[in-house]
Amino acid sequence: MEPILEIGTNDPSTFIDFFVPLAHNLEGSGGTVYQPVPVIDPTTREEVPPADHVLVSLPSTDDFSLVHSTMRDYIAGDPNRELTLENRTMVMNVTVKEGGFPDEEVLRSILFP
C-alpha cells in the first residue's frame, strides 16, 4: 500500500505556499497532493475557506525526501508556522516547527516505522 500522509497547518492563510510547491515537487515522482474542498450550500454566498490540510500519496517512503524539503522551506519562511503530519495508513502523527524541525531520517522513522 502506498503511504498516505495528511498534512495540516496552524496558518491556513499561507498554507497554499506549502502545498502548491509540494505538488510541483512530487509531479515527476508519481506522488499526488489532494486538497479537500468543503461542501457549501449553493443558496448561500459564502467564501470558500482556505485549506488547512491536504492528503499526500507517495509511491513509496523513498519519495518522502521531497515532502521533507518542501516542509523545511515552508517553515523557514516564518518561525510561527507549524505543520502536523499524520500517516493515514498507520495512524502515526508528529508536529514540526522551526527550532524543533527533525532531519529527514528521524522524521521518516517516526512516520514510517
Walk me through the domains of the chain, giving residue ranges and CATH numbers: 4-35+51-111 (3.30.70)
- Taking a C-beta distance cutoff of 8 angstroms, is the pair 53, 18 a contact? no
Measured distance CA(49)–CA(18) in Å, rounded: 16
4-9/82-87 β-pairing: antiparallel
Closest CA to 5 of 24, 22, 27, 28: 22
pLDDT value of position 91: 62
* pLDDT confidence of residue 18: 93
pLDDT per residue over 65-97, tens digit each? Answer: 999 999 999 988 887 889 998 887 666 667 777
pLDDT per position as a tens digit, 7-56: 999 999 999 999 999 999 999 888 999 988 777 788 888 777 888 999 99
pTM, full prediction = 0.80
